[in-house]
Amino acid sequence: MLQMTKSAALYERAKAVMPGGCSRNTILRKPHPVYAAYGKGCYVEDIEGTKRIDFANNVASLIHGHAHPQIVDAVQSQLSKGTAFTVGTEIEVKYAELLVNRCKSFEKLRFVNSGTEAVMSCIKAARAHTGRPKIAKAEGSYHGLYDYAEVSQTANPSNWGSKTAPASVPVARGTPQSALDDVIVIPYNDPERAIEILNAHKDELAGVLLDLLPHRIGLIPAHADFVAALREWTLQNGALLIIDEVITLRTQFGGAQEPYDFSPDLTAMGKMIGGGFPVGAIAGRADVLEVMNPLNGPAAFPHYGTFSANPVTMTAGSVAMQMFDHAAVDKLNKLSEKARTGIAEAIKISGVPACVTGGGSMFRIHFRETAPTTYRDAYVGPEEQACISSLLDHFFANGFLMIETCTGVLSTPMTQFEIDRLCEVTLEGLRKINPKH
């Protein structure tokens, strides 16, 4: 009788105490999850002793990889002083100053505990500021777990409705119809149709929620004319433009919004700004964020959070973001461009109908010749999913951790060696899919 592996045995224990054997579905893989023993730099070793190059980085949250010495030292120092208080800390103020000075649209901010909570807070702040109930979002875009933010992120051809009037499709069973009615879905990168839809609800919309490089839509940048049309519409109709930078803040020093000619009213952040710890933040116009201020009477949006701005996260995040300066951003983005170029060359050599998309320090592989521009273009059918699964299995077997959509994100400890190895393994995997080349 074969002896059960450590991972298989641990998963059996996990299934006895957690639904599905985990607390987040992203770790699941057949026949059982991988369990980390430790991580260092851009490598993770599991409890079986296998070491892998980490291109998942806890779904884009570890900009400096694992256990960066400067972050570890700073956190260890803070741990000896305390982890959370019912009074303020100086590091919260210092870190807020650092982030506010990083992006031109940030006038003030508040910290929360996750990207989901940051998006939720943006939506609630927009409602409180405008006195309107509804929110608009791009079809297919992922914005976290909040009922109003997750609508239509998993829409499919059987339920997504027409292009001119995309349906508000629930993700979780039991989502109230009232929540669906209060979320207006617009097509991504289609300004004409989007504006027509927004106009039909202009007196009810508190804001438009947008990711400028949405992972679920295919890591396709928002077209400049699309963004400009949404910005102009919100200005003309008294609604707010909310940008979700939970993932994309890593793409430029000032986030994905930096290259565009506009300033959003609110920005949601998370992931990398925690330096490896749970975090979120809502930033933007001072007058909008005033809805959270209780000093002049009851706040229009009362806001609390037991672990918001805890000093451990603030310490780790502050160190991480100070290290991710202009030079570090440029260096990582250049390395990422080399990765995308190398992957594109591997695709060309293999003869597989595929393409690579992305921006900043992120890339995604699609099994189609032309890069998608909308969620419906990017929708993955069974045939494409089979190719994605095959390539992901090949990456895993050859020492790589990737995000489940065949997406990768880089971290600053990576070098040309990891990129060269990535491109080699990509070509090998593609040749398995198309053995003629």
Residues identified as active-site: 142, 244, 271
Q: State residue 436 phi and psi, 5-degree precision.
A: -70, -20
CB 342 within 8 A of CB 422: yes
Element at 418 (helix H, strand E): helix 416-433
- Which alpha helices (H) appear in 61-169, and where do they start and end? 69-79, 90-100, 115-130, 147-150
Residue 228 tokens read as 């400009």
CB 266 within 8 A of CB 114: no
CA 7 vs CA 10, 21, 188, 205: distances in Å: 5, 12, 41, 49
Q: What is the DSSP letter of 240?
A: E
CB 242 within 8 A of CB 209: yes
> Which residues, other chains included, contact 174 with Cβ-Cβ below 8 Å and sequence gap of 6+?
none
Order of strands across the sheet that contains 355-359? 355-359, 362-366, 407-409
CB 188 within 8 A of CB 139: yes
- In whole angstroms, give the CA distance from residue 191 to residue 392: 34
CA 133 vs CA 116, 194, 204, 268, 292: distances in Å: 19, 19, 6, 19, 17
Cis peptide before 31 (omega within 30 of 0): yes
Q: Which residues of 152-180 are buried (b: 16+ CB within 10 A; e: fewer)?
A: bbebeeeebeeeeebebbbeeeebeeebb
Q: State residue 275 phi and psi, 5-degree precision.
A: 60, 25
Residue 400 tokens read as 């790589």
3-state secondary structure (DSSP) of residue 141: coil
Residue with tokens 């990768």, as numbered in its chain: 408
Residue 154 tokens read as 């998993």
